[in-house]
Amino acid sequence: MVTAPLPELPRRLHLLADRWRAERPQAVALIDHDGQTLTFAQLGEASDAAVTLLEAAGVRGGDRVLLVNENCAALAAMILACSRLDAWAVVVNARIPAVEIDRIEQHCTPRALVFTPQTSRDAAAHGARHQADDHSLPHAGTVLIAGQRPATPEPVEDSNADQVAAMIYTSGTTGTPKGVMLTHRGLLYIATISGQQRGLTTADHVYAVLPISHVFGLASTFLGTLKAGGMLEMVPRFDPRHLARALENGVTVFQGVPAMYAKLLEHLEAEGRALKAPHLRYMSSGGAPLDLEWKRRIEGLFGTALNNGYGLTEASPTVSQTLIPSPRDDDSIGPPLPHVEVRFIDQLTGDDVAPGEIGELWVRGPNVMKGYYNDPIATRATVTADGWLKTGDLCRQGPDGALFLVGRCKELIIRSGFNVYPPEVETALNAHPLVIQSAVVGRRIPGNEEVIAFVELSPGSQLDEDALKAFIHDRLAPYKRPQRIFIVPAMPASATGKIQKHHLVLAADRLCGASDIPERL
């Protein structure tokens, strides 16, 4: 239930930076990938120059600007410049294949394409392929721009609730990208509320390794820190060694996905080192389900609570997160954010389930997307006429209001008439000390479904399928136990470290009749 009015939010994203440019011009806003610092005044100069470059490339209000990037100061300047021009920042990770970038370009018809070559050899290659011209930004390095593309601008809306600030392409579980239109209000709401709940201030040093091309990195890490006036360390690619050094050298806030924590733990164990994080006051996990066994191991390592949260691109992204004053010893994803309403729907009847029961989570609030670009049919299928976003995730709500993520509706496995929720099976597998991470999918067979597991082990570890089956035997009911467990060198993962289960569904069919596991799935 909404209990308080929505906080007053700026009209546009760039006003977050403008405030600190006026009030604290010499304070450090960013540490770039090469260690160079930018003050708020310098970030403002870089974004002013980016506006000039985009205007020269023909960009007007309502145009789409395709930003092919990895985290850096130039990207920050370009996002702020798009906001100043009322253009849409279409942020795309440079590490995705060229064919995917081409598909996104064809769908969103950008007026200009911008590439960040200094932090990304992939961005440089994409820029060369598009014959983009080299330009420099004061204090922020080099960008490549291919402009003056044929494009029809969208209407510019005065309201922050109607004007699109950014568009992020998400494939969900289907593998088919859809352009999620995120408004200034939605992103500013998340930057404000999630930042408040993390207690962000001007004193914070935030480690920004989550890709800003992903909505978690864009709204929560980048814009949340900018809203609070903190210092953002821009990290293009995750490296556990770099993270370990940064934690030693002053990082106060770290947000990551579960795989990042797993890799950090693996690195420290391999090096025989103890973790040193003398200034860290807040850490959280999101972007993928958090296994309870891993949560306890990480909390033991850091000596502080690992906060958990839940969201999706279509919700800008945060729906819920655990609270600093109320650390939890379970795997809850926390209560819904203020001003966000939730429902739990029976997929068969379409009715609300009884309190505490499992249902599809529906969400309504200022963070819900405007819709999918040029796809009204998919939009109507996902957002109801009265504003409820159908998340496709199965959840339940505890008596204290906290949410618990059970699994994806489409990932629910029905084995011999019983529901099997993959996170429960993954929790049992991840409890083994040699298991780094696991992923469970369903495989259809005549008249039934099989439970198939994929497991990644610590480097150099030796463990076979029979040993893992014996380990989980007493931890799971018979119908929940995997019929096959494949030990793989690495999981197929997105740039954020999120396991791409649609690849594993295909791999399950292919591998169930094979005796050898390929090096790459």
Residue with tokens 């950008």: 110
SS3 309: strand
Strands (E), 222-326: 231-234, 253-256, 282-285, 306-311, 318-321
- Decide: 77 and 137 in contact? Cβ < 8 Å: yes
If you write DSSP's letter for every residue of 372-429 in order, what string do you get? ETT-HHHHHHHB-TTS-EEEEEEEEE-TTS-EEEEEETTT-EEETTEEE-HHHHHHHH
Supply the pLDDT for residue 233.
98
Instruction: List, in order of start, the domains of the chain with CATH numbers.
Output: 413-511 (3.30.300.30)
Supply the pLDDT for residue 517.
46
- Decide: 448 and 415 in contact? Cβ < 8 Å: yes
- Decide: 70 and 119 in contact? Cβ < 8 Å: yes
Supply the pLDDT for residue 324.
96
Supply the pLDDT for residue 521.
52
Quick one: the chain helix, strand, coil %, rounded to 5? 30, 25, 40
Nearest to 111 by CA among 136, 83, 146: 146
Q: What is the rounded distance in angstroms from the CA atom of residue 325 to the CA atom of residue 193?
A: 15
For residues 37, 41, 43 and 49, what is the CA-based torsion angle, rounded to 10 degrees? Answer: -130
Residue with tokens 């995997």: 482
Supply the pLDDT for residue 336.
98
Supply the pLDDT for residue 494.
76
Which residues does the chain have with pLDDT short of 70? Answer: 1-4, 171-176, 496, 513-521
